[in-house]
């Protein structure tokens, strides 16, 4: 009896002996855990669409669609190197279109097409934006993409040349990627709640007082630790501008989900946000101020751990270093 008790106590107290699979199924840590030799397949799809239909004038719209296939491989402790395998990127508006199809080994050749005449209003602005996208796409493989899972505890940050792509302020292939909010330390359980700042780009400031989003752990077990969050709020505002009485109405909906694998890595993340707005105006030139508009963002990220190919050895787990015996001094027996 004492022998069994001692073994059980050692298993519980020694983190080197207790693996994630040994934990109860109702508790699991949301964190990355990988070692030298580990590789992952990654897919990410992103779509952003804007449209504005004024009561008077031409409809304006824009789109940004990205599809990325990549391989993740061990670089250093907590750091993964991201190698692009395929990129399909379409970006444009009613005035222009820029498209890229990239695979390794082929020249990066983004295609630009202007849809309006050089004398059209706003042509120079649209041309400059199109040129900016072409210039960036041509440099798509310059430098190095990495994923940092430990630099900012509880975050999974995509980086380019060591800088965070979301906070750098510049254009990047992954500048709008969603992984998850700030994660807790330690195991999570079904029903556990998280509240984090709302970090989206399509909610104009001042229309609502929503500043955070609350998420909840919905499942823990063989399929991983799954958390979901979201909300829906009405948008309503009355104001007078240039002698016109205007009423703004609409809705903003947001949802997010992320999933950590039992082997401890982020295996999936999703985000959707939709902003619909309508402006009704009364008085002279009411049609000039009236409009219907929408701004919709959706994206999905999936990551799968790659199994070694036949004949390849699995990465060996690191063993704790053994303490060296102390050397005796000359006067010691």
Three-class DSSP category at 203: coil
pTM of the model: 0.83
pLDDT score recorded for residue 264: 95
Between CA 144 and CA 45 the distance in angstroms is 20
Return the pLDDT at 330: 43
**In which element (H, E) is residue 19 found?**
none
Question: Per DSSP, what are the bridge partners of residue 235?
Answer: 250
Instruction: Identify the pLDDT of residue 30.
Output: 94
pLDDT of residue 312: 63
The answer to whether 145 and 174 have CB atoms below 8 angstroms apart is: yes
Cα(80)–Cα(35) distance, integer angstroms = 10
Dist. CA 333–CA 328, nearest whole Å: 8
Q: What are the distances in angstroms from CA 174 to CA 23, 54, 146, 257? A: 34, 32, 11, 18
Distance CA 235, CA 202 (A): 13
Query: In angstroms, rounded to a whole number, what is the distance separating the alpha carbons of residues 232 and 274?
Result: 9
Q: Report pLDDT for 11.
A: 33
For residue 200, what pLDDT is reported? 84
Lookup: tokens for 151: 């630099």
Low-confidence ranges of the chain (pLDDT < 70): 1-25, 168-169, 242, 310-333
What pLDDT does 169 receive?
67
Q: How many residues belong to the chain?
A: 333
């Amino acid at each position: 009896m004492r022998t069994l008790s001692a073994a059980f106590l050692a298993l519980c107290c020694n983190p080197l002996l207790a693996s994630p699979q040994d934990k109860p199924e109702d508790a699991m840590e949301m964190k990355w855990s990988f070692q030298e030799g580990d590789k992952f397949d990654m897919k990410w799809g992103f779509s952003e669409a804007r449209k504005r239909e004024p009561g008077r004038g031409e409809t304006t719209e824009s789109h940004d669609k990205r599809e990325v296939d990549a391989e993740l491989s061990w670089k250093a402790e907590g750091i993964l190197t991201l190698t692009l395998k395929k990129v399909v990127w379409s970006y444009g508006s009613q005035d222009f279109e820029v498209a890229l199809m990239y695979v390794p080994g082929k020249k990066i050749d983004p295609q630009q097409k202007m849809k309006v005449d050089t004398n059209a209003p706003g042509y120079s602005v649209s041309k400059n934006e199109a040129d900016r996208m072409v210039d960036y796409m041509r440099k798509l493989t310059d430098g190095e993409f990495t994923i940092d899972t430990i630099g900012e505890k509880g975050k999974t940050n995509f980086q380019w040349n060591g800088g965070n792509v979301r906070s750098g302020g510049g254009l990047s292939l992954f500048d709008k990627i969603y992984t998850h909010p700030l994660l807790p330390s330690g195991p999570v359980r079904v029903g556990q709640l998280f509240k984090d700042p709302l970090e989206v780009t399509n909610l104009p400031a001042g229309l609502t007082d929503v500043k955070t989003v609350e998420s909840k752990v919905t499942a823990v077990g063989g399929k991983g630790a799954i958390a979901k969050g979201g909300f829906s709020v009405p948008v309503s505002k009355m104001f007078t501008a240039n002698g016109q009485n205007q009423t703004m109405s609409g809705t903003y909906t947001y949802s997010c989900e992320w999933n950590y694998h039992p082997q401890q890595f982020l295996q999936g993340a999703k985000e959707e946000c939709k902003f619909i707005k309508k402006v009704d105006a009364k008085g002279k030139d009411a049609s000039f101020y009236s409009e219907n508009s929408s701004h919709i963002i959706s994206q999905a990220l999936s990551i799968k751990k790659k199994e070694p190919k036949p004949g390849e050895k699995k990465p060996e787990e690191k063993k704790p270093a053994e303490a060296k015996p102390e050397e005796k001094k000359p006067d010691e027996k």
